[in-house]
């Protein structure tokens, strides 16, 4: 175990023991502890709360969800470890922090894999999505459902990114995933992995010159205040995932597990409605704030990131997944 592994393990165990002391046992107390890096009101948070209401109603008050929003139990990577150790029951997380743990989660993050939101939703609702959810299980997590995350696009403190050349010399914050590191490198930028919660300060202090995210995250983090140049490259449309600790899951009855799966499934249309409204509202707020916006031609970006696919799609199972997803594109 490296020093970094040991440190984050200790941080994870520390935070987990706080959680365990604060709540009651998920097995007997029926309150499932859920985390999200986003604050209350964000579509992913509200969708999981809705799932909690369903759970409560259908279990006659026996099961419920206690939500810890806003990353209070740690940044995504740490919270994921705590979930695997059973200190957190439900975790709504981006796919990127899962990339180093579950290779299949890399596939939806391949740049320009999805042609539209419709394409992403069809693939994740279908067999490819199920395969990715199932792939989490050997790693101590139960994949329950996917939520939308829109299109990730570049924004900077310096200038609009209208062509890949505009990224040259810029330090771009990326999530902790080699896929994102290589993607930004292929486009000519300097990738800088950093936790989500540190990006605002990073942009402000110039540790990074830019980052990439969807409209709602760009707005809710207020990154637009410090990096007011947004270029809608929509280079990654990977969804979010709601997963559960296998430790908690294995301690539950088959009926309760089925109920949890069902309630998670029913939270998807709620999340999508909230998401679509949030994208519109965020975009309007950002435009009104005076941020400069570009809608660049994706072709030169696509050409440069294609070799990244070959580097990361390494097994026959991953190649099949890519082919199946591409075959589901309603535009083709």
Stretch that binds ligand GTR, among 48-56, 79-87, 209-217, 315-323 (CB under 6 A): 209-217
E-strand ranges in 258-316 read 292-294
91 is an interface residue for ligand GTR by CB under 6 A: no
Q: Is 229 exposed, middle or buried (0-12, 13-18, 19+ CB in 10 A)?
A: buried
User: Residues 196, 229, 230, 275: which binds ligand GTR (CB under 6 A)?
Assistant: 196
Residue 291 contacts residue 228 (beta carbons within 8 Å): yes
DSSP state of 103: G
Closest CA to 149 of 63, 289, 38: 38
The residues pairing with 141 across neighbouring beta strands, listed in sequence order, are 245
**Closer residue to ligand GTR, CB minimum distance, 174 or 186:** 174
Q: Which 3 state secondary structure label does DSSP give 319? A: helix
282 is an interface residue for ligand GTR by CB under 6 A: no
Q: Are strands 190-193 and 171-174 parallel, antiparallel or unpaired?
A: parallel
CB of 29 to ligand GTR, least distance (A): 27
Stretch that binds ligand GTR, among 99-107, 182-190, 211-219, 287-295 (CB under 6 A): 211-219
* Cβ-closest position to ligand GTR: 94
| Spatial distance between the Cα atoms of 165 and 167, rounded to a whole number of angstroms | 5
CA dist 75 → 36, 42, 80, 201 (Å): 9, 17, 9, 15
**Closer residue to ligand GTR, CB minimum distance, 63 or 121:** 121
**Closer residue to ligand GTR, CB minimum distance, 37 or 248:** 37
231 is an interface residue for ligand GTR by CB under 6 A: no
Fill in the per-residue mask, 129 to 158: x = in contact with ligand GTR (CB under 6 A), - = not in contact.
--------------------x---------
Binding site for ligand GTR (CB under 6 A): 37, 76, 93-94, 96, 149, 175, 196, 213-214, 217, 240
């Amino acid at each position: 175990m490296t020093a970094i592994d040991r440190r984050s393990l200790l941080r994870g165990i520390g935070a987990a023991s706080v959680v365990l002391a604060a709540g009651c046992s998920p097995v007997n107390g029926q309150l499932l502890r859920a985390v999200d890096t986003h604050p209350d009101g964000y579509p992913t948070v509200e969708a999981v709360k809705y799932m909690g209401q369903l759970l409560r109603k259908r279990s006659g008050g026996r099961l419920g969800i206690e939500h810890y929003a806003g990353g209070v139990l740690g940044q995504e990577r740490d919270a994921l470890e705590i979930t695997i150790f059973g200190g957190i029951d439900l975790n709504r997380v981006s796919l990127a922090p899962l990339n180093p743990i579950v290779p299949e989660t890399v596939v939806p993050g391949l740049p320009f894999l999805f042609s539209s939101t419709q394409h992403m939703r069809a693939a994740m609702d279908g067999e490819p999505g199920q395969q990715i959810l199932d792939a989490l299980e050997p790693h101590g997590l139960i994949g329950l459902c996917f939520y939308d995350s829109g299109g990730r696009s570049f924004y900077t403190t310096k200038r609009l990114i209208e062509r890949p050349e505009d990224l040259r010399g810029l330090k771009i914050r990326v999530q902790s995933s080699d896929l994102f590191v290589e993607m930004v490198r292929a486009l000519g930028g300097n990738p800088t992995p950093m936790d989500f919660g540190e990006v605002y300060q990073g942009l402000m202090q110039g540790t990074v010159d830019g980052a990439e995210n969807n409209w709602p995250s760009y707005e809710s983090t207020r990154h637009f205040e410090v990096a007011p140049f947004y270029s809608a490259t929509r280079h990654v449309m990977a969804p979010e995932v709601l997963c559960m600790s296998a430790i908690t899951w294995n301690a539950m009855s088959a009926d309760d597990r089925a109920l949890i799966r069902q309630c998670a499934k029913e939270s998807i249309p709620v999340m999508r409605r909230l998401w679509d409204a949030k994208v519109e509202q965020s975009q309007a707020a950002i435009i009104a704030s005076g941020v400069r916006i570009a809608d660049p031609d994706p072709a030169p970006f696509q050409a440069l990131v294609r070799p990244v696919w070959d580097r990361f799609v390494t097994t026959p199972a991953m190649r099949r997944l890519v082919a199946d997803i591409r075959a589901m594109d309603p535009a083709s």
